[in-house]
Chain A
Amino acid sequence: EPEVTQTPSHQVTQMGQEVILRCVPISNHLYFYWYRQILGQKVEFLVSFYNNEISEKSEIFDDQFSVERPDGSNFTLKIRSTKLEDSAMYFCASTLRDKGLGYTFGSGTRLTVV
């Protein structure tokens, strides 16, 4: 069964450093998403991406965050200057259509900011 692949599985970074979280969505999917889950809390939407542009972003997704699909297969989330409160599990997801159906989530990247 096709998978969404995320790398790395765990990343530790110093506060103020830039991090890039990488995702390889399912190849024929068209809609891409990032969500995050702070430890013990709910899963929160960050951003959706379609047709090479952001289609929606949450209040969390401020100027420190950016997304890119650089080569038609990877989908990246960049955090420009990490803060302690960015420590969370970040999930990538993709789907063929919108409407919330048919999501496939990756297994996540645990980001720890120290």
Chain B
Amino acid sequence: GNSVTQMEGPVTLSEEAFLTINCTYTATGYPSLFWYVQYPGEGLQLLLKATKADDKGSNKGFEATYRKETTSFHLEKGSVQVSDSAVYFCALADPYNQGGKLIFGQGTELSVKP
């Protein structure tokens, strides 16, 4: 079945450091891929998405490229800020699945220190 695996957290970085959070997936067909962010005490917000191979999703300085050959969708940011502290979830949607449910990874907590 479809699944998503993320690197384990917590990840602790200093402000302005480079961020990578690894995400790999297993899926039949060609899923759409997403990164969601959950700030403390809040719900899930879509950060970025990519719907086909080699697409790059980007938002708020974050980027992720859909790599079909490595079944990966790693999240990167060149210079993190304290305000980026949150839990980040990688997710996929199987376009052939009726109803479009999302399958999430286990989440990676990011803590950015000043």
Interface positions of A (Cβ within 8 A of B) = 31, 33, 35, 41-45, 48, 50, 55-56, 91, 93, 95, 97-101, 103, 105-108
Classify the secondary structure of A's interface with B.
strand
* Residue interface bits B88-114, CB-to-A below 8 A is 1, else 0: 010111110111111111110000000
* Cβ-closest chain A residue relative to B31: A100
Q: Is the CB of B44 within 8 A of A105?
A: yes
Interface positions of B (Cβ within 8 A of A) = 32, 34, 36, 42-46, 49, 51, 89, 91-95, 97-107
Q: How many A-B residue pairs have CB under 8 A?
A: 69
Closest 7 CB pairs of A and B: A100-B93, A98-B100, A48-B99, A107-B43, A55-B99, A43-B104, A105-B44
* Cβ-closest chain A residue relative to B44: A105
Interface centre among B32, B42, B94, B101 (most CB of A within 10 A): B101
In the assembled complex, how far is the CB of residue B31 from the closest CB belonging to chain A, in whole angstroms? 8
B102 partner residues in chain A, CB cutoff 8 A: 35, 43, 45, 100, 103
